[in-house]
Amino acid sequence: MESKLSQTPETSPRPARAVVISADHWHIDFQGWYGNDWIETPALQKLASEGVVFDNCFAACVGPEWTARAWWTGRTQLPHPDPGGPATWELARLKSAGVRTVLITEASAEHIAEVAPPFDEVHVVRGEDDLDVSETETPIAHLVRRAETWLRDNTHEMRPTLVWIRSRGIPLPWLPPRGFADLYLEDFALIPDQSGPVAGPNEAEVEFPPEVEFPEEDLCEFAEEQDLTPEQARVPEETRFALAMYASYASLLDRWLGRLLRNLALDPHAGTTLLLFTTGVGQVFFPGESAPAVDLADLEGTTPLRGELIQTALIARLPGCVPGDADHAGTRRGALVQSIDVLPTVTEWLGLSVGSAVEGRSVLPLVRQTAEQIHDELLLGDGEGALALRIPEALYVETPAAEPEGEPVVGLFGKPHDRWDAANLAKQQPGLAEELAARLKTRRLSGIAAEI
C-alpha cells in the first residue's frame, strides 16, 4: 500500500523520512500536554500543538525489553515473546525493502546486543545521572548531541530513512542534575538548604524539618493541584522528595528534547519527515484512591498492569507536504492505540505495505480522520503471566494466583473515570467481566496457536 506521500513526488523532492523519539519510562501525569498544568514541559507541549495527541495510547507489554520488541516487531509479545530472532522482526523487513534504519540510544551495551541486528546503524551514548552532575553530562544531553551530529552528517541522504532516538526516559532512582533538582521542592512542601546542592531527604546537604507535615489547608490545596485525595496527599517526606525529583527529571528531558526538535525543524528533510513521540511505560505511584500513598521503597508497583503504568504518550506530527495534513495540527484523538502501532505508522509513511505478521495498525487514518478507530480492544501483559484487555469503557485484568492451582485474580475497572483502578467492578458487572474473560481467552489461545 502506497502512502499519500509517495504519490506526490512533485511536492516532495526529498525521500520520506520518519523520526521516532521514544522514552522508556515517563508517567503520563508528568507531561504538560496530558493535562499537568504545573510541570515545565514547554517543548513537548509545543510539539503537541503542532501535531495530533492520542489520549488513549497503551503499552503492549510493560518492561523496557518487551516494549522495544513490541515497537520493532509490531506485535504484542503476548502471551509469550516472539520465538523468532531480530531477523524476523518488522524492522528487519523495512531494512530489506531499502529503508535505512538508524538507532541512537542511551541503552546499555548488553541491551543493545539484543536489538542491534535489525538496524543498519546503532549509536550508543552514555552519561551520568546524579544530583551534583552538570546537565550537559546527563544521558539525555549526550543522546541529543549525538542525534544532532547524525542529522548534520546526513543532510544529503536520499534513501527513505527511519531514525529512532531512544531515551531511557525517567529512570530510577530519578536523579536530576544541578539546576533542576530544586525546581519542584516547594510544590511538594519541601524546603531545600540554600547553602548547598540538593541531595536527598536523609542527607546532610539538605535541611528538612524532621516532621514535615502539611497544614490542613495546604494539604487540601496540594491534593487539588495534583488531582489526589487527601489520603494520597499525606505522603511520607521521602516519597514527596522522590516525586519532586521525578518532576524535575521530566523538565530536564523536555529542555533537551526541545533543543533536538528545533534542530529537526531546521533539517533539510523536515518537509518530508513524519515525527512521532512516544513513551514505553508509566510509573506506579499510588496503590489506589482510597489508600495512602506508598513509601519510596514500594514505588515499583503493586498490582501489575495498573492504568498509570500501562497508559503511555503518543504524538504524531505530519510535515504538511501532503495536502490537508497540516489541518490536523493541535487536535486530539480518543481512539485506542498501542505501542505496536508505531512501526506500522512509519511503514505506511515510507510508502510500504505492512507485513502480514504485524498486529499493529497505522495511526495515520486516525490522524487524517479517515477512520474513527483501528482497534476494538487492546491486549496487554506484564511478561510474567498477568494479562489484560482494554476496551474504551473498561480495563479487565487477570493476575495469576499465588498458588499454582489457584484461580486468577480478576479486576474490572471502569474507564476513563476510575483513574486509579480503585473500584473493582467484577462482582457488580459479572456479565461484562465474563464477556471480557472470554475475549481474553480467545486472544490468549490465538497467540499460543501462532507460536506453534
> CB under 8 Å to 98, separation ≥6 — which residues?
159, 160
Band of pLDDT at residue 307, cut at 50, 70 and 90? confident
pLDDT digits (tens, 9 = 90+) for 172-196: 888 999 889 889 988 777 765 544 4
- 359 and 330 in one domain? yes
- 329 and 273 in one domain? yes
- 363 and 229 in one domain? no
Per the structure, how many domains does the chain have? 3
> Cis ω on the peptide bond leading into residue 79 (within 30° of 0)?
yes
Q: Which of 254-268, 296-310, 408-422 has the lowest mean pLDDT?
A: 296-310
Q: Which of 72, 26, 56, 80 is nearest to 381 (CA)?
A: 80
Measured CA to CA, the distance from residue 27 to residue 311 in angstroms comes to: 8
**Contact 326/320 with Cβ under 8 angstroms?**
yes
pLDDT digits (tens, 9 = 90+) for 96-147: 999 999 999 997 544 554 555 579 999 999 999 998 999 999 999 999 999 9
Band of pLDDT at residue 452, cut at 50, 70 and 90? very low
Considering 376, 398, 419, which residue would you say is the last residue of a domain? 376
What was the pLDDT predicted at 208? 33
DSSP assignment of 81-143:
--SS-GGGSHHHHHHHTT-EEEEEE---HHHHHHHSTT-SEEEE------TTS-GGGSHHHHH
Residue 381 is assigned to a structural domain of this protein: no
- 282 and 319 in one domain? yes
pLDDT digits (tens, 9 = 90+) for 358-394: 999 999 999 999 999 999 999 999 888 899 999 999 9
Measured CA to CA, the distance from residue 289 to residue 359 in angstroms comes to: 34
Range(s) of the domain holding residue 401 = 387-451
**Contact 251/183 with Cβ under 8 angstroms?**
yes
Q: For residues 90 and 187, which has the higher predicted lDDT (pLDDT)?
A: 90
Q: For residues 399 and 362, which has the higher predicted lDDT (pLDDT)?
A: 362
What was the pLDDT predicted at 197? 41
Considering 325, 357, 376, which residue would you say is the last residue of a domain? 376
CATH number at residue 340: 3.40.720.10
Band of pLDDT at residue 228, cut at 50, 70 and 90? low
What was the pLDDT predicted at 388? 95
Residue 136 is assigned to a structural domain of this protein: yes
Residue 403 is assigned to a structural domain of this protein: yes
Give, for 257, the enclosing helix (H) or strand (E). helix 237-266
- 90 and 215 in one domain? no
What was the pLDDT predicted at 232? 55
Measured CA to CA, the distance from residue 362 to residue 336 in angstroms comes to: 12
Measured CA to CA, the distance from residue 173 to residue 193 in angstroms comes to: 21
Burial pattern 186-197, b for ≥16 Cβ within 10 A else e, equals: ebbbbebeeeeb
In eight-state DSSP terms, residue 388 is: E
Q: What is the mean pLDDT of residues 91-100?
A: 92
Residue 382 is assigned to a structural domain of this protein: no
- 302 and 291 in one domain? yes
Measured CA to CA, the distance from residue 5 to residue 323 in angstroms comes to: 10
What was the pLDDT predicted at 362? 97
* The three grid cell numbers given for residue 412, joined into one nine-digit string: 474490572
What was the pLDDT predicted at 247? 94
Considering 348, 376, 404, which residue would you say is the last residue of a domain? 376
- 192 and 120 in one domain? no
Share of residues in the chain with pLDDT > 70 (%) = 79
pLDDT digits (tens, 9 = 90+) for 152-177: 999 999 999 999 999 999 988 889 99
Beta strands in 117-248 (DSSP E): 121-124, 161-169
- 229 and 255 in one domain? no
- 160 and 13 in one domain? yes
What was the pLDDT predicted at 332? 97
What was the pLDDT predicted at 147? 98
